[in-house]
């Protein structure tokens, strides 16, 4: 008995690790902490890497136009405008569609088709973004230019500056928004479907028993219950569009120094600006500026995604598994 | 006697209209899917020949009448993608699986919650940001674009995929199996490694396959790290080609022969992504029910 109290620290350690359990726990803990450290590393590296630009411009460069790396003249406003407008267009297009698809998959779709249709919609999320960009350049942009953009610019565009010409290559903010909409559809649809699936059945049964039609049931009993989660899904989709790089880079037209008043005009997004210029940045201020833009983008997507997760978690009372966002 | 409510017909039509709208939305979403797959298959198929798989970059030759001749193949891209993604998997597997063991095998605690939150943050972070981090940490320090930097970026991008799927699969292993092994006197770590992991192995492999597909299609971080290379290269500390980079590069060129290579590379990427997704769906079909 007395002996047990006189164990040396080494003996205590030996006894504790005798079966290897503590050691194994420590190893797994280390790798778990490594995952947390990665997130901090991303924040820290972009913060430290952008110090030169932050010292030089402060926050003001986010609100300036003009982009000339050789003259060390940097304004991120066109990139921010392009990001916000193309993602906004994408959300306007994909939001209602995605929610309707989620409703169809969860409530109305025949059982036999449900899983195959879900799978097909989710395949849209699996296609690499560079393929969206390529398809956009070869197929969608030429079609859109001749069938939609040119006629609109020649008619409505004469009086509405938002749709005015010239429609040069066809690449522009609106086209980017449409491609981004296709890419974020599966995220919105899958999350809407999943949060609707956790709405308790007694909600549905109660309102059906009162004589409601299927749609009234969905609108008055299901959607209010799933509302927060659906908004979370929309925000996750938005997060994906804000950070999307390749597809946006390829179809938006890469106009970096000014904001076009027309949606058919070219633009640039924050992510695609970084992707196109960082590999051949010609001075350290140029590099630091691009890293600062990446940092701002990281911060924005972090906030959007954290809020979205919170909403989805609250609705489904726990982490939603297997949703590829 | 049953009487109809006065507004019944309006409500009935609203119901039909909205239900029709949901069907319409779903159909509308499938159109781009089939258009993209259709174009990639049709245009890509004509690019697939022996030269496509056995040659690297060839400078476009202007022949008689301005026609552009041979454009070579994408062997350098295939080799590069395999090396870069393979190295990324080698680095991500131990980290991801051990972190997932921590999440699934030890009682819920605040560290686990933080790890889950961080995997969500990582999986939602734009891939370009991870590329920027690899650029700053490796490319800037070594003054050299390298395949290694690309692998590091892809590692960070696929860790969340591996952690999440492995955790789900480990949690599906019945606790009675763990209890039986522990009752026989095995320490917990031995139970985890020899009972739990082998039981969940098929599920873990599906996660690894998904990670492989995700990493192979990633383009933006590679643009900042591996840059590209016109030759077949096996040097991990030098610029390397990759299939998605070739798709990007050969899309915006005036040479139709290179455009065809872009479609071909896209087809290879698509076949890979599709087959992995279909395989995973087939392998997990019983668990979904």
Cross-chain Cβ contact A100/B159 below 8 Å: no
A321–B219 CB contact, under 8 Å: no
ipTM of the complex in this document = 0.91
Q: What is the mean pLDDT of chain A?
A: 87
Which residue, B220, B76, B249, B208, is CA-closest to B134?
Answer: B220
Q: Which of A31, A35, A46 is the closest to B129 by Cβ?
A: A46
C-beta atoms surrounding B188 within 10 Å: 19
Question: Tokens 């686990």 belong to which residue?
Answer: B112
Contacts of A179 (CB under 8 A, 6+ apart): A132, A133, A136, A140, A247, A248, A251
Average pLDDT in the A60-68 region? 81
pLDDT score of B203 more than 70: yes
**Which residue in B has a C-alpha nearest to residue A253's C-alpha?**
B252
pLDDT (0 to 100) of residue B59: 79
Residues of chain A with C-beta less than 8 angstroms from the C-beta of B224? 274-275, 278-279
Instruction: Count CB atoms within 10 A of the CB of residue B11.
Output: 15
Q: What are phi and psi of A225, to 5 degrees?
A: -70, -40
More confident residue, A133 or A53: A133
User: From the candidates B15, B153, B220, B239, which should be mutated to test the interface with A, based on the most A CB atoms within 10 A?
Assistant: B220
Nearest chain B CA: its distance from A318 CA (Å): 11
Count of CB atoms situated within 10 Å of the CB of B181: 18
- Band of pLDDT at residue B70, cut at 50, 70 and 90: low
User: Which of A25, A29, A294 is closest, CB to CB, to B128?
Assistant: A294
Which of B29, B163, B193 is the mutation pick for testing A, counting most A CBs within 10 A?
B29
In chain A, whose CA is at the least distance from the CA of B101? A28
Q: Percent of chain A at pLDDT above 70?
A: 94
Give just the sign of the alpha carbon dihedral A77, A81, A87, A91: positive
B188·A19 Cβ contact <8 A: yes
Residue A117's Cα: distance from chain center in Å?
A: 23
Distance of residue A66 Cα from the nearest chain B Cα, in angstroms: 23
Query: Which chain A residues contact residue B154 at CB under 8 A?
Result: none
Q: Tell me the nearest-neighbour CA distance from B50 into chain A, angstroms.
A: 23
Contact B277 A126 (CB under 8 A): yes
**How far does the CA of residue B55 sit from the closest CA of chain A (Å)?**
22
- Lowest-confidence segment of A159-173, A243-257, A264-278, B186-200 by average pLDDT: A159-173
Nearest chain B residue to A289 by CA distance is: B132
Q: Name chain A contacts of B124, Cβ cutoff 8 Å.
A: 236, 239-240, 243, 301, 305, 325
Which of B101, B106, B270 lies nearest to residue A131, judging by beta carbons? B270
Structure tokens at B243: 């299939």
With an 8 Å Cβ cutoff, is B28 touching chain A?
A: yes
**Res. B286 pLDDT band, cuts 50 70 90:** low
The arithmetic mean of pLDDT across residues B48-73, rounded, is 75
Q: Which domains does chain B show, CATH number per domain? A: 81-241 (1.10.3720.10)
Measure CB to CB from residue B247 to each of A20, A30, A130 and give the nearest one: A130
Residue labelled with tokens 């070579």: B72
Asked whether residue B107 carries a pLDDT value surpassing 80, the answer given is no
Q: How confident is the model at residue A256, as a pLDDT?
A: 83
Lowest mean pLDDT among B3-7, B62-66, B187-191, B265-269: B62-66
Name the nearest CA neighbour of B72 among B50, B53, B54, B57: B57
Dump pLDDT digits (tens) for B36-47.
999 999 999 988
Q: Which of A189, A211, A301 sits opposite B125 (nearest CB)?
A: A301
Please name which of B266, B159, B156 lies closest in space to residue B217, comparing C-alpha atoms: B266
**In this model, does residue A321 exceed pLDDT 60?**
no
Nearest to B248 among A236, A246, A325 (CB): A246
Residues from chain A contacting residue B94 (CB–CB below 8 Å): 31
Instruction: Give the separation between CA A153 and CA B167, rounded to whole angstroms.
Output: 53
Closest CA to B121 of A131, A180, A41, A214: A41
Alpha helices in chain B (DSSP H): 8-45, 50-54, 75-105, 110-124, 127-134, 140-142, 147-172, 175-183, 188-191, 197-217, 220-225, 243-251, 256-283, 285-288
Residue of A97, A279, A302 with shortest CB distance to B224:
A279
- pLDDT at A11 > cutoff 80: no
Q: State whether B18 and A130 contact (CB < 8 Å).
A: no
Identify the sign of the CA torsion A104, A110, A111, A116. Answer: negative
pLDDT in tens, A25-34: 889 999 999 9
Which chain A positions have a beta carbon within 8 Å of B101's beta carbon? 28
The confidence band for B268, taking pLDDT boundaries of 50, 70 and 90, is very high
Instruction: Please say if the pLDDT value at position B12 is more than 70.
Output: yes
Tokens for B79, please give them. Answer: 């080799």
Residue pair A52/A61 in contact (Cβ under 8 Å)? The answer is: no
In whole numbers, what is the pLDDT of chain B averaged over residues?
88
| Whether pLDDT at A283 is above 50 | yes
pLDDT recorded at residue B151: 95
Residue A286 · residue A292 · CB < 8 Å: no
> Is the backbone peptide bond immediately before A166 cis, with ω within 30 degrees of 0?
yes
Dist CA B260 CA B262 (whole Å): 5
Structure confidence at residue B154 as a pLDDT band (50, 70, 90): very high
Q: Hey, how many other C-beta atoms are within 10 angstroms of the C-beta on B88?
A: 26
CB A34 within 8 A of CB B155: no
Chain A residue with the nearest C-alpha to that of B280: A119
CA distances from B103 to A68, A121, B66, B201 (A): 48, 30, 62, 17
For A25, name the nearest residue in chain B, comparing CA atoms only. Answer: B102
Contact B102 A128 (CB under 8 A): no
According to the model, what pLDDT value does residue B247 have? 92
B98 vs A28, A119, A271: nearest CB = A28
Quick check: A318 pLDDT over 70?
no
What is the model's pLDDT at position B228? 87
Mean pLDDT of B237-241: 90
Q: Could you tell me if A179 and A136 are in contact, meaning their C-beta atoms sit under 8 angstroms apart?
A: yes
Instruction: Pick the residue from chain B with its C-alpha nearest to A124.
Output: B33
Chain B residues within an 8 Å CB radius of A103: 22
Q: Which residues pair with B72 in a beta bridge?
A: B57
Who wins on pLDDT, B111 or B255?
A: B111
Q: Which of B121, B132, B213 sits opposite A46 (nearest CB)?
A: B132
**For residue A324, pLDDT beyond 80:** no
CA distance, residue B15 to nearest chain A CA (Å)? 5
> B65: which DSSP letter?
G
Q: How many CB pairs under 8 A join A and B?
A: 269
Using the Cβ of B235 and the Cβ atoms of chain A, whether some distance falls under 8 Å is answered with no
pLDDT (average), residues B16-21: 93
Is it the case that residue B94 has pLDDT exceeding 60?
A: yes
Helix (H) or strand (E) holding A68, with range, is strand A67-68
Give Cβ neighbours of residue B240 (< 8 Å, ≥ 6 apart): B76, B80, B83, B84, B146, B147, B150, B226, B227, B228, B229, B233
Helix (H, G, I), strand (E, B) or coil at A73: strand
Which residues of chain A does B117 touch, with a Cβ-Cβ cutoff of 8 Å? 309
Q: How does DSSP classify residue B71?
A: -
Strands A67-68 and A73-74: antiparallel
Cα of B114 vs its chain's centroid, Å:
24
Residue B263 has pLDDT above 50, yes or no: yes
Burial of B285 (0-12, 13-18, 19+ CB in 10 A): exposed
Cα separation, A296 vs A317, whole angstroms: 31
Residue B2 has pLDDT above 70, yes or no: no
Chain A residue at shortest CA distance from B126: A243
How does residue A103 score in pLDDT terms, banded at 50, 70 and 90? Answer: very high
Contact B224, B131 (CB under 8 A): yes
Which one of B34, B88, B126, B227 makes the best mutation probe of the A interface by having the most chain A beta carbons within 10 Å? B126
Compare CB distances from A35 to B19, B29, B159 and report the shortest one's residue: B159
Q: Give yes or no for residue A254 having a pLDDT over 90.
A: no
Give the tokens for residue A28: 């797994």
Nearest Cα residue to B135 out of B156, B120, B118, B115: B156
Model-level pTM? 0.90
Question: Residue A170 has what pLDDT?
Answer: 83
- Mean pLDDT value of segment A185-204: 91
**Token pair of A141 as six digits:** 């942009």
Residue A249 pLDDT level (bands cut at 50, 70, 90): very high
| Domains identified in chain A and CATH numbers | 79-283+300-316 (1.10.3720.10)
Quick one: what percent of chain A has pLDDT higher than 90? 48
3-class state of residue A67 by DSSP: strand
Q: Please give the pLDDT value at position B158.
A: 95
Segment B217-232, tens digit of pLDDT: 999 999 999 988 888 8
């Amino acid at each position: 008995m007395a002996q047990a109290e006189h164990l040396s620290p080494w003996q205590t350690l030996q006894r504790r690790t005798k079966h290897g359990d503590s050691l194994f726990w420590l190893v797994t803990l280390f790798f778990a902490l490594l995952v947390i450290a990665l997130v901090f590393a991303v924040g820290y590296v972009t913060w430290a890497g952008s110090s030169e630009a932050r010292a030089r411009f402060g926050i003001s460069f986010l609100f300036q136009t003009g982009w000339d790396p050789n003259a060390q003249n940097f304004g991120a406003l066109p990139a921010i405008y392009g990001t916000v407008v193309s993602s906004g267009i994408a959300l306007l297009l994909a939001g209602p569609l995605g929610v309707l698809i989620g409703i169809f998959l969860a409530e109305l779709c025949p059982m036999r088709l449900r899983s195959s249709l879900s799978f097909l919609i989710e395949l849209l999320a699996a296609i690499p973004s560079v393929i969206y960009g390529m398809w956009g350049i070869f197929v969608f942009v030429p079609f859109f230019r001749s069938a939609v953009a040119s006629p609109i610019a020649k008619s409505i565009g004469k009086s509405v500056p938002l749709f005015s010409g010239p429609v040069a290559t066809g690449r522009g903010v609106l086209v980017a928004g449409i491609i981004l909409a296709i890419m974020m559809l599966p995220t919105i649809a899958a999350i809407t479907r999943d949060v609707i699936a956790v709405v308790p059945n007694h909600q549905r049964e109660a309102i059906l028993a009162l004589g409601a039609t299927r749609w009234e049931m969905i609108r008055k009993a299901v959607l209010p219950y799933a509302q927060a989660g659906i908004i979370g899904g929309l925000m996750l989709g938005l997060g994906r569009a804000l950070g999307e790089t390749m597809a946006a880079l390829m179809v938006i037209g890469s106009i970096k120094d000014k904001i076009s008043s027309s949606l058919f005009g070219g633009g640039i997004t924050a992510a695609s600006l970084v992707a196109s210029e960082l590999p051949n940045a010609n001075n350290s201020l140029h590099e630091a500026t691009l890293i600062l833009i990446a940092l701002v983008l990281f911060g924005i997507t972090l906030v959007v995604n954290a809020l979205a997760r919170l909403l989805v978690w609250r609705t489904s009372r726990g982490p939603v598994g297997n949703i590829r966002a | 006697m049953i009487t109809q409510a006065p507004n019944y017909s309006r409500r009935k039509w609203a119901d039909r209209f909205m239900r029709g709208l949901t069907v319409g939305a779903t159909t509308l979403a499938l159109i781009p899917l089939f258009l993209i797959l259709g174009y990639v298959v049709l245009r890509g198929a004509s690019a697939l020949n022996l030269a496509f798989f056995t040659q690297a970059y060839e400078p476009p030759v202007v022949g008689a009448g301005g026609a552009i001749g041979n454009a070579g193949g994408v062997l350098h891209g295939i080799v590069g993608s395999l090396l870069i993604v393979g190295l990324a998997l080698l680095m991500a597997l131990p980290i991801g699986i051990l972190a997932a063991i921590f999440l699934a095998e030890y009682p819920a605690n605040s560290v686990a919650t933080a790890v889950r939150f961080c995997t969500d943050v990582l999986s939602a972070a734009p891939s370009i940001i991870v590329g920027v981090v690899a650029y700053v940490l490796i490319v800037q320090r070594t003054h050299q674009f390298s395949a290694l930097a690309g692998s590091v970026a892809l590692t960070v991008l696929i860790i969340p995929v591996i952690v999440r799927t492995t955790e789900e699969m480990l949690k599906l292993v019945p606790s009675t199996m763990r209890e039986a092994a522990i009752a026989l006197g095995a320490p917990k770590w031995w139970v985890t490694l020899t009972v739990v992991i082998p039981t969940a192995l098929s599920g873990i492999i599906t996660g690894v396959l998904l990670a492989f597909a995700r990493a192979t299609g990633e383009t933006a971080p590679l643009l900042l790290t591996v840059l590209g290379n016109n030759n077949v290269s096996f040097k991990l500390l030098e610029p390397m080609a990759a299939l998605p980079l070739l798709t990007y590069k050969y899309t915006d060129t005036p040479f139709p022969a290179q455009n065809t290579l872009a479609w071909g590379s896209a087809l290879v990427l698509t076949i890979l992504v599709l087959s992995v997704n279909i395989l995973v769906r087939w392998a997990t079909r019983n668990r979904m029910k």
